[in-house]
């Protein structure tokens, strides 16, 4: 997930010539905080792998502070993107559907960003709540982090012209990431934990639900327009 995030966002930082707009303070702050979260996740995983549970728990309090920053930053960054016509932080600008038939419906597209943020927040809070139950805690935090991958995957595809930025193109890498939890359970334990199945299936099912049911609805359009003001 760190590699995907770096590969998705670094090209526009290393070579900003192709940017559609300057990097804003909001987008930069958002990126730094979310990167800090993934680095914390890596550190916490390594601490547990080495059996250093005491430091893992002590450092875990940092996640609460980062989470308190991530949620409002993620919300405001998405709202700002919608106001700019779905400008991806000035990095890329989506103006049409893949078939070129119509302009992108920014309110409909925003469901994936707002929905992903809500999914991440819910799973991360659940992981903190179950912090004393490792088998539950680690599954919630893994799938919370996978829910953040939509944005970096979108940017990664956009920086590679042979790839076409479509919903399936974004969903396939996310689907592979969701499968890693299932594979890990089966390889190490010989069975798949029920919570892993629930989180993997529920996470994947959320995308067609957002895209086909909620996003196109007039109620969502009115709500998205209101919260993006």
Task: Convert the pLDDT of each residue in 189-216 to its tens digit.
Answer: 999 999 999 999 999 999 989 989 999 9
* Structure tokens given for 64: 């609460």
Within a domain: residue 228? Answer: no
Rounded Cα distance, 56 and 40, in Å: 10
CA angle 170, 175, 177 (to 5 degrees): 105
Within a domain: residue 33? Answer: yes
Q: What is the pLDDT of residue 224?
A: 93
CB neighbours of 29 closer than 8 A, spacing ≥ 6? 73
Within a domain: residue 20? Answer: yes
Rounded Cα distance, 80 and 179, in Å: 32
Asked if residue 22 has pLDDT above 90, the reply is no
Give the number of other Cβ atoms within 10 Å of residue 151's Cβ: 26
Within a domain: residue 170? Answer: yes
Q: How many alpha carbons fall within 13 Å on the CB side of residue 13?
A: 13
Number of domains in the chain: 1
Q: Domain of 171?
A: 2-221
Q: What is the pLDDT of residue 93?
A: 63
pTM, entire model: 0.90
Within a domain: residue 143? Answer: yes
Within a domain: residue 226? Answer: no
Within a domain: residue 84? Answer: yes
Is 118 or 22 the better-scoring residue by pLDDT?
A: 118
Task: Convert the pLDDT of each residue in 83-139 to its tens digit.
Answer: 888 777 778 766 544 444 445 788 998 999 999 999 999 999 999 999 999 999 999
Cα–chain center distance at 23: 20
């Amino acid at each position: 997930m760190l590699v995907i995030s770096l590969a998705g966002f670094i090209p526009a930082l290393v070579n900003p010539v192709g940017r559609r707009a300057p990097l804003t303070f909001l987008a930069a702050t958002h990126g730094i905080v979310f990167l800090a979260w993934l680095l914390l996740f890596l550190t916490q995983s390594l601490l547990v792998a080495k059996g250093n549970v005491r430091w893992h728990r002590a450092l875990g309090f940092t996640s609460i502070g980062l989470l308190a920053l991530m949620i409002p930053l993620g919300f405001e960054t998405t709202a700002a993107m919608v106001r700019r016509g779905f400008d991806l932080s000035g990095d890329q600008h989506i103006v049409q559907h893949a078939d070129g038939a119509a302009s992108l419906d920014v309110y409909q597209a925003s469901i994936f960003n707002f929905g992903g943020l809500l999914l991440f927040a819910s799973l991360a809070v659940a992981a903190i709540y179950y912090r004393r139950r490792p088998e539950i805690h680690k599954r919630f935090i893994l799938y919370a982090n996978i829910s953040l991958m939509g944005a970096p995957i979108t940017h990664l595809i956009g920086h590679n012209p042979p790839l076409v930025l479509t919903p399936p193109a974004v969903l396939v890498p996310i689907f592979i990431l969701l499968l890693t939890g299932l594979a890990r359970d089966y390889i190490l334990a010989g069975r798949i934990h029920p919570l892993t199945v629930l989180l993997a299936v529920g996470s994947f099912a959320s995308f067609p639900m957002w895209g086909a049911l909620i996003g196109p609805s007039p109620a969502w359009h009115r709500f998205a327009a209101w919260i993006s003001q």
